[in-house]
């Protein structure tokens, strides 16, 4: 299933999500030296911070994210990786790094970091296109920056 994103008005968000973003802001500005300090200052548990930290962004900040790291499990067959790279090129995702594991039991893991600033369409659409390619067994976003 593709990742889905929502834009939600701030006053409708649960307190834990709001406090997570407040703690992240303290860390970004250097007003808190550690996660523990930031969480404590906004009245949030560390476990709640870690639960939400990778999924909570202010809209202005999320729009600046341009690098996505995608992990894929590919069948070990000639041309599969080439099809993936071709799909990224057609979608104008500029490959920054690529790492492939040694194939085991007919499958190889490939991790690709791409610049998404010029992608035609949204990242979830690109992920769906990658999933539809013959030989691609799993596609997940493992990081964004």
Q: State how far the alpha carbon of 93 is from the alpha carbons of 125, 132, 145, in Å.
A: 12, 17, 15
pLDDT, position 99: 93
Cα separation, 17 vs 5, in Å, equals 15
Cα separation, 30 vs 41, in Å, equals 13
- Under a CB-based contact definition with an 8 Å cutoff, are residues 99 and 110 in contact? yes
Cα separation, 113 vs 102, in Å, equals 18
Give the residue among 14, 10, 34, 11 at the shortest CA–CA distance from 24.
34
pLDDT, position 2: 61
Q: Kindly report the backbone phi and psi dihedral angles of residue 33, in degrees, each rounded to the nearest multiple of 5, phi listed first.
A: -85, -25
- Under a CB-based contact definition with an 8 Å cutoff, are residues 24 and 56 in contact? yes
Q: Please give the share of the chain, as a percent, with pLDDT higher than 70.
A: 91
Which pLDDT tens digit goes with each residue over 37-87? 999 999 999 999 989 887 887 765 555 557 889 999 999 999 999 999 999
Tokens 């802001």 sit on residue = 25
Q: Please give the share of the chain, as a percent, with pLDDT higher than 90.
A: 52
Cα separation, 30 vs 19, in Å, equals 17
> Model pTM greater than 0.75?
no
Tokens matching residue 96: 């920054």
Between residues 131 and 116, the one the model is more confident about = 131
pLDDT, position 60: 58
DSSP-assigned letter for residue 10: G
């Amino acid at each position: 299933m593709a990742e889905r994103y929502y834009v939600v008005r701030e006053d409708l968000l649960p307190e834990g999500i709001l406090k997570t973003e407040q703690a992240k802001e303290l860390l970004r500005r250097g007003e808190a030296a550690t996660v523990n300090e930031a969480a404590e200052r906004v009245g949030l548990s560390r476990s709640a911070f870690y639960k939400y930290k990778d999924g909570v962004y202010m809209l202005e900040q999320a729009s600046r994210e341009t690098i996505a790291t995608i992990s894929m499990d590919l069948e070990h067959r000639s041309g599969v990786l080439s099809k993936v790279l071709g799909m990224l090129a057609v979608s104008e995702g500029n490959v920054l790094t690529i790492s492939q594991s040694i194939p085991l039991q007919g499958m190889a893991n490939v991790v690709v970091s791409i610049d998404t600033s010029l992608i035609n369409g949204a990242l979830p659409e690109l992920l769906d296109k990658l999933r539809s390619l013959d030989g691609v067994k799993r596609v997940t976003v493992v990081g964004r920056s």
